[in-house]
Amino acid sequence: MEPFAMTLYVNAPAEQVWDAVVGDEGNRAVMFGSVLRSELTVGAGYEYVGPGNEGEETVHVYGEVLAVEPGRLLSLSEHPGPSYGDNHAELSSRMTWTLEPVTPGVTALTFVNDEWSDGHPNHDGTVENWPRVLSALKTFAETGKTIDYGW
């Protein structure tokens, strides 16, 4: 399955972009009301939890922290949450955010979603959904507001 990759230039310092990627406020704004729960150490588990099929505490995505360098790199394995199907543990991909300062106050944010397991049902929606999420993240990091897609 084809990887998805996108680079955005964010008019904000890397620390501010990092907060949008991992912080509760940024995640709620761009990840459909979910927050990232994890210690963010290599080998630790994580979950994106928020409103969904199972109420306010629906696990939408979960996995393991593969790499982390605060302010620069976050790589996570990904499985869809249990409410998305009985075979959720068999489905996987990898999500990687890389932040690089370009000039003072400007950060290049590169996101890659790859290593898809065969038959992963979320792969086809990636091309449409990730650009929207990443654009909302860019807007949030720059302005503290998000894009209202009406979802």
Mean pLDDT, the chain, rounded, equals 94
Ramachandran angles phi, psi of 45, nearest 5°: -80, 165
Residue boundaries of the structural domains of the chain: 4-143
pLDDT tens digit sequence for 28-86: 999 989 999 999 999 999 999 999 888 899 999 999 999 999 999 999 999 999 888 88
Q: Is 121 exposed, middle or buried (0-12, 13-18, 19+ CB in 10 A)?
A: exposed
Q: Does domain 4-143 have CATH number 3.30.530.20?
A: yes
| DSSP symbol at 82 | G
pTM: 0.93
Distance CA 22, CA 70 (A): 10
